[in-house]
């Protein structure tokens, strides 16, 4: 178990406070203008007051998790070859990926042959949403969202890096969180919500951290039965059949489970010994 990733409420609160201080000291203000064909507002400066390293699209959630792993700036945004590592500590690369795992491919290809990599994924178990008017900057009140993520939500992204899942240098950690999300009223519908973009996510509570030292560790999320199907996994994990299908696809691709039989057009799977 990676001690840098164990659940620590005090460290989480400290990380949130540190990020708030960083943003305040640098006078960071969220851009409200979304260029044509862009999926989110484009910032000219990071929350840390920098112009080029790291991601200009980094949100508060990304910064909080990065500082949770290590608040020492000397360990952050370390250049390795031609790419930057979010946190490089004790010879291990930590990559905080709040979305779009497909963008990780180039880094994994560069890092995994030489160093171990742990991918950090935040799953928002509880969320409140508020809307910002792009013309006035006015923020609505926060309302509880019915959407709930779980540790299984990581499989929505793992399918994009399926070819790296069996690499022994790759591990994962899921942070189960509560967060406040702000969105920009810039959509195409009458209420401007459909097709809108997310501005930021501010984590408010850490429930737990779930570490997976390898892809094989994900097997503990499966039903404790000799065989299982997509329907079995969906019912057991309380997830949609689509997400259960993605999970089974990833584990099959990583050679952790295999199809044992097909009955009435439904496939059944078992763990490989």
Domain boundaries, the chain: 3-216, 222-273
Measure the CA angle with vertex 152, ends 173 and 11; round to 5°.
35
Q: Hey, is 66 helix, strand or coil? A: helix
Q: What per-residue confidence (pLDDT) applies to 33?
A: 61
- DSSP code at position 242: H
Cβ atoms within 10 A of the Cβ of 266, count? 11
Q: What per-residue confidence (pLDDT) applies to 132?
A: 85
Q: Which residues pair with 197 in a beta bridge?
A: 184
| 70 within 8 A of 87, measured Cβ to Cβ | yes
| 88 within 8 A of 112, measured Cβ to Cβ | no
Q: What per-residue confidence (pLDDT) applies to 57?
A: 52
Nearest to residue 66, comparing CAs of 53, 217, 142, 161? Answer: 53
Please name the residue that has the structure tokens 């189960």. Answer: 176
Q: What per-residue confidence (pLDDT) applies to 168?
A: 95
Q: What per-residue confidence (pLDDT) applies to 25?
A: 77
Q: What is the mean pLDDT of each run of 10 residues along the chain (273 residues)?
A: 90 94 75 60 54 56 95 92 93 92 94 96 96 83 94 97 96 97 80 76 96 96 96 97 97 96 93 88
CA separation for the pair 250, 139 (Å, rounded): 40
Four-residue CA torsion sign, 40, 41, 45, 48: negative
Cβ atoms within 10 A of the Cβ of 190, count? 7
Q: What per-residue confidence (pLDDT) applies to 177?
A: 97
Fold of 222-273: Arc Repressor Mutant, subunit A (1.10.10)
Measure the CA angle with vertex 15, ends 13 and 18; round to 5°.
110
Measure the CA angle with vertex 213, ends 211 and 218; round to 5°.
75
| 95 within 8 A of 120, measured Cβ to Cβ | yes
Region of 44 (left: φ > 0; alpha: ψ -120 to 50; beta: rest) is alpha
Q: What per-residue confidence (pLDDT) applies to 53?
A: 44
CA separation for the pair 10, 26 (Å, rounded): 25
């Amino acid at each position: 178990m990676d001690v840098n990733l164990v659940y620590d409420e005090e460290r989480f609160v400290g990380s949130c406070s540190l990020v708030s201080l960083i943003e305040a000291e640098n006078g960071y203000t969220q851009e409200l203008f979304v260029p044509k064909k862009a999926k989110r507002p484009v910032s000219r400066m990071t929350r840390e007051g920098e112009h080029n390293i790291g991601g200009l699209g980094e949100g508060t959630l990304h910064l909080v998790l990065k500082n949770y792993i290590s608040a020492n700036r000397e360990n952050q945004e370390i250049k390795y070859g031609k790419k930057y590592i979010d946190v490089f500590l004790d010879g291990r690369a930590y990559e905080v990926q709040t979305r779009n795992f497909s963008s990780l491919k180039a880094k994994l290809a560069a890092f995994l042959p030489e160093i171990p990599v742990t991918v950090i994924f935040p799953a928002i178990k509880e969320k409140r949403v508020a809307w910002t008017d792009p013309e006035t900057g006015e923020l609505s009140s926060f309302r509880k969202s019915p959407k709930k993520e779980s540790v299984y939500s990581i499989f929505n992204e793992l399918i994009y890096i399926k070819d790296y899942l069996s690499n022994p240098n790759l591990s994962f950690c899921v942070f189960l969180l509560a967060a406040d999300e702000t969105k920009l009223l810039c959509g195409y519908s009458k209420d401007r919500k459909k097709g809108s973009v997310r501005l930021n996510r501010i984590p408010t509570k850490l429930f737990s951290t779930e570490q997976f030292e390898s892809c094989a560790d994900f097997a503990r999320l499966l039903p404790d039965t000799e065989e299982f199907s997509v329907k079995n996994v969906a019912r057991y994990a309380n997830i949609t059949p689509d997400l259960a299908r993605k999970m089974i696809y990833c584990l099959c691709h990583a050679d952790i489970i295999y199809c044992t039989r097909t009955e009435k057009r439904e496939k059944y799977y078992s763990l490989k010994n």
